[in-house]
Structure 1
Amino acid sequence: MPDDYGYINARIKVMRTQLLDGRMLDATLEAQSYQEFLRVLSESVLAADLGDATAQGAGLAELDAALSRNFFHTADKVYRLASGTARDEIGVLLQRWDLVNLKTLARGLASGRGTEGILQSLIPGGTIARSALQAAASSGDVASAAQAITVSGHPLAGAFREGAAAMSASGRLLDLEVALDQGYYRRALAIARGTALRRYLAREIDITNALTARALRGQSVDPSLFVEGGNVIGASDFTRLGAGDTGVGGDLSPILEAPSLEEAEIVARRALDVAAHNAAMGDALGVGVAVDFLRRKEIEIAKLRLIGRGKFYGVPAEQLRREVSVE
């Protein structure tokens, strides 16, 4: 395949037409039962991946597996379109879900969650081999999990080991998560070729720092928790934000001023949606189109998971509609 974003983006634009439109999402919301919800999905492009989700007696575990399968197939197809530096850049985008999965893995092990529970909560769109994730999830503790990821040779293994050591020393899961953020963004920025991708990554970094500062508000902020590479929040701003000074957050103030961490995360997700859209608009011949498409696909799957759970437990359609609107 040529290292040519013109070709890649033309294919992605075709794939974008296969995302569920507002009419189809409305149909899932208006379904009168869980079985009707599944019937609506079986009439969409997701039908090929539903598998056991529509079988007699199937439940949410089968639905999650089906949606995960569809997400993996979509992300993998985008990755296989590219070669050369384009493949490296798109690979970095997919490693964003490796970052999420390693954090989920660490949280699950730290809280004593079982192997199957951890595996079911992982996103299948990343690049870590399933066998490595299984070995890590069944390892029993974070330090052993880090060794399992190291054996896989994954680029984030070093950051995971450093984070596991930091967590062991401090007893704080946050130290591990920030070490992973730092390792991921350092690598991503080194690989990013175009200004649009670097701008998008910088936005992610600023939002990450804003959320960390929001979580630490009122505490003594450790400067080592700062992730470098953003455009809005500098190291000194980060310390001030943690102390409660929201005046240095620029256009990220809504995250910092949100009344709860949950609401701050909702505002952060919306900001990332806008950043992904802007990346596509400003980089029609580069990786920006892939940034936006993968973000849209992630949102679609998250909404379907939420709607599916609502239908399974009989949540009223209007309540579901309100919840989906903020996802």
Structure 2
Amino acid sequence: MNFKVVSFNDSLKLKAISIFNILNMKEAIHIQDVDFLLIDTETIDDNAIESYKNREASCFLLFVVNNDEDIKKLLKNGFSNYIQYSFSSEELKSWCKFFQKTKKTEIIHLNQEININLKKSEIFIDNQIYILTKQEILLFKSLSKGEFVSTKNLKSLLKLNSDTSVRTLINRIKKKIKFDIFIQKRNHGYKLNIDNFEKENNNSELYIKELEEQNTLIQKIVDNSSVYIVTFIHKQLFCINKAFRDLLGNEVVKELWDEENGDFFQLIKHSSKNKEQLKKELFNKKTITEVKIYDFKSDGFYDFKVETYFFKKLDKHLLIFS
């Protein structure tokens, strides 16, 4: 898996690169080879925002935020994946693992006769295989959502010098495969001519709905600093947000990650007989439960109401403690 770090901050870049190297990830030389893009929000302007919206189709985007304004900027533009500037090694590793589990499909089905294999750089038409260049693959990745992408954005994504270069690239593909698989619309740009837009393991309506729901939840956290959140992927602990880590204490949280059988639920006061029942109750969609969490600093307890949200497509649970 290839990565790229976009930042003016050398310290941030070195920190991230060292973590990626531990995971045996390689730094991409060409933008079209990037699988995982880590972006410092300080590098973002309005033009970059539009460009990154189209990059979502071709790679996983994770933003580094410095303050609440950065978070609001991301959410306003539909980006929900971010970590704080002071992120830990385990946080970034967890995001990489999450990407591996949820990475986008490698095949685009245009119709019954035409399929594009992004991983193998091939387009399959009527039992004939055509090899695609890296630039052609990046074009298909940019258009893989089945939506119009402006010529200006394509020029930026493909690192081309002019709008004419975009048209030249598309015409070259048409000539190579002897099919016109593109739709052009004035003032809208280009999109793929897909009969029934469908990608393997992907339902765009569900994705959009879940993304909107995620954004709503994250906005709730941003707007109310007293809310604490714990994320589970496949019912396994994935992330404890910074506010909650600060409350519980970093040493306590660290033990949850370091222990072989670490379990977030060991922080909750309950009898051993009811532990599994408690998990079942907390993982139920939109269940509100009252719990006590150990306060190791004072040997007391915190009283919380827990509200659960479940994203079926991602098998993700968000537990909000208030």
Shorter-chain TM-score range = under 0.3
Q: Which has the larger radius of gyration?
A: 2
TM-score of the pair, normalised by structure 1 = 0.25
Higher strand share: 2
The answer to which structure has the higher helix fraction is 1
**Higher relative contact order by CA 8 Å / sep ≥ 6: 1 or 2?**
1
